[in-house]
Structure 1
């Protein structure tokens, strides 16, 4: 049943003729706005959100590499103020997220990163490739049968959304909960904290987030949690030798579970959509060594799942000729940096194997660079290749039509990639 609740008014950017960051035109096609920001106002105050939008590659990279001036404290703050009723729901669930990873500038940050990185380093990811391939094959069996019979299938909802969750559960030794439940909880957290939902929707999302937090707390507190990430967190010691507190351990898991599966699923959905839109690309993905990896890299540059990230100034400073006061809230337009012509030639074109492709900022840079970059790259390439091989001659059911998009402040991806067998190929 459709909701009759009024959605909050769109948030303007303050640029004449430019849509707000949550407006449907921006969500559908953010590139004109990003280009306008880069060329006319690269450090631009957005009155709708109270954020300073930083859009040029050089500026964003300099911010990420200067954690003393630009602090990560606001990285996980709620974009839309949470009303009292929502806060009460979260309080009843015992919800608390002390600084742990993305928003942590404390002395314990480096040790926590090293701990988590043990589960996502290149050696472990390489060893996990057969498991990822097996999981992808299992998940494609149903869509493949329906596809062969002439039916349509939604590769975003049925495949991309749940594959990373199943892989992560196997990597980290998580059981006792379904992948669908974990994905639902993760999606709810992203929407609650990075979205612009109406008040009634916030209440529903808060219930989901509270359930997620309670489940994580139970896992961290369980005597059986001796292995995997949770076991490692329970054995971890802070720089002063004291055990890691349960609240911080839960905060680490909260961030890792969301980053390790929701954003990777979004990357896979976008890579699938852009590849299946071009029959030549779809064919090359299936048969050409290294092409899936190169395609994923270009998607990361042009349409990364994490489109923005936040920082706050520790003191008054200057960026690209603009004076920023202490406490200024910055929104780093990661997606815009991948299309900066000062850095990438022909940025609007997807050019696999471009010379400087690894220089994009989709995973950030510096001390807070994404811990799961290797896994995300590998998993997306495996998922893309497996789908192209399982569904040859696939085509979008509605070619040339923009599917519904996830449009949060920091996350963007197609919610549907509906394909069928194209008999004309």
Structure 2
């Protein structure tokens, strides 16, 4: 049942905790909705969002990485001191250089590379589950949002991209830097919090610039591939361009997968009988995970800006208007997915969702995320078949971010038989 349409506070905790009624209302009552608080045009139906993503001449990606709020002067000074710069490379690049950057990522994250990495993903997952079991034995509880949901994607990404030296910074530090960057650019922190986050983002960026300036690496690594890459004019990448790719990939390549796994762990453990069924029938994991990506993805929205005046579903939108594409809403569009509220393992078009985008800016790490979800859910259920949520009855705390949604914690414990 849709709720009445009105102002949509995209940062309200009620919306963040349960956005589904708002998404339903937008699709049914205001599929193209102007939100004056942010100046964003919200587009929520599947066909419209898909068409916008595919029309890269009319709808540009230029604002994809822009901060949603204005930075204070002290914040700008902190970033400037670190020479912080994110020139267009991947998500926000609508120019001719984009294809070359995509080829770099495709060589490292294509389906063959992902398939070859599955044994490594399994080893990393096993090591993280060892740690989770140790925490369960010592404390009686483990936060799955950190181990394994945080650590597995981060370790896998660094190894797959040949960035093992990055582990010297420590997993806690890398995750903190990543979270600070997400909150700084996609949240609405107050002035004090903004300055604190800017300090973390500046430290992160300095560290990345250090990687870029480090010893030469092989072309089978991300750093080596970036060093060898040539722009359309024939010139090499600048340090700022290479740093921008690393900054984006280290965040996007693991933070969104951590968020995905936190959502999946909580949903799987909270649904009666499902976790035990995963342990007994692991073949059901992948189709269920795909349905979760359709219904409740970690990346809920993405942005575009109009290159010219345009009409979408009868609504006139001016040139230069920032659009917010409601990716998560499209996965529940009943015109495309029958009974969208059900996670149906037999759904024939379950891979037709837009949670990874579509077209030239489709997520490069989509198949890696799918592989990690399958391995992690299967192995965790097999090792800990009687795991259960500690706080199943209460709504999880979630950060108020424009485009990302996941529980901050997923506290789990073993069932009574394992604890005796």
Regarding TM over 0.5, the answer is: yes
Matched, 1:55 2:47: no
Deviation at 1:197? 1.0
Q: Name the SS of the counterpart of 1:406 in structure 2.
A: coil
Deviation at 1:288? 2.1
Counting only pairs closer than 5 Å after superposition, residues 4-153 of structure 1 correspond to structure 2 as 15-16=5-6, 19-147=8-136, 151-153=140-142
Counting only pairs closer than 5 Å after superposition, residues 22-421 of structure 1 correspond to structure 2 as 22-147=11-136, 151-174=140-163, 175=165, 176-227=168-219, 228-421=221-414
Moved more, 88-97 or 414-423: 414-423
Deviation at 1:148? 5.1
Deviation at 1:279? 4.1
State how far apart, in whole Å, the 2-side matches of 1:351 and 1:145 are. Answer: 35
State how far apart, in whole Å, the 1-side matches of 2:415 and 2:283 are. Answer: 25
Deviation at 1:304? 0.6
Residue 7 of structure 1 corresponds to: none
Residue 3 of structure 1 corresponds to: none
Deviation at 1:401? 1.5
Q: Residues 150 and 421 of structure 1 are in contact (CA less than 8 Å); yes or no, is this contact kept in structure 2? A: no
Deviation at 1:208? 0.8
Moved more, 270-279 or 150-159: 150-159
Q: Name the SS of the counterpart of 2:308 in structure 1.
A: coil
Between Structure 1 and Structure 2, how many residues are aligned? 411
Q: Residues 68 and 188 of structure 2 are in contact (CA less than 8 Å); yes or no, is this contact kept in structure 1? A: yes
State how far apart, in whole Å, the 2-side matches of 1:150 and 1:110 are. Answer: 49
Q: CA 1:250–1:423 in 2, change beyond 3 Å: closer, same or farther?
A: same
Deviation at 1:400? 2.4
Q: Name the SS of the counterpart of 2:148 in structure 1.
A: helix
Deviation at 1:289? 4.0
Deviation at 1:307? 0.4
Q: Name the SS of the counterpart of 2:406 in structure 1.
A: strand
Q: Residues 308 and 318 of structure 2 are in contact (CA less than 8 Å); yes or no, is this contact kept in structure 1? A: yes
State how far apart, in whole Å, the 2-side matches of 1:347 and 1:161 are. Answer: 29
Deviation at 1:291? 1.6
Gaps of 5+ in 2: none
Q: So what's the TM-score if we normalise by structure 1? A: 0.94
Deviations 1:132-168 (A, max 9, x none): 1111111111221343578111111232122111111
Moved more, 152-161 or 369-378: 152-161
Q: Residues 306 and 322 of structure 2 are in contact (CA less than 8 Å); yes or no, is this contact kept in structure 1? A: yes
Deviations 1:347-383 (A, max 9, x none): 1122223111000000001110000000011111111
What is the CA RMSD across the aligned residues, in angstroms? 1.6
Q: Name the SS of the counterpart of 1:326 in structure 2.
A: coil
Deviation at 1:170? 1.1
State how far apart, in whole Å, the 2-side matches of 1:146 and 1:183 are. Answer: 20
State how far apart, in whole Å, the 1-side matches of 2:283 and 2:318 are. Answer: 46
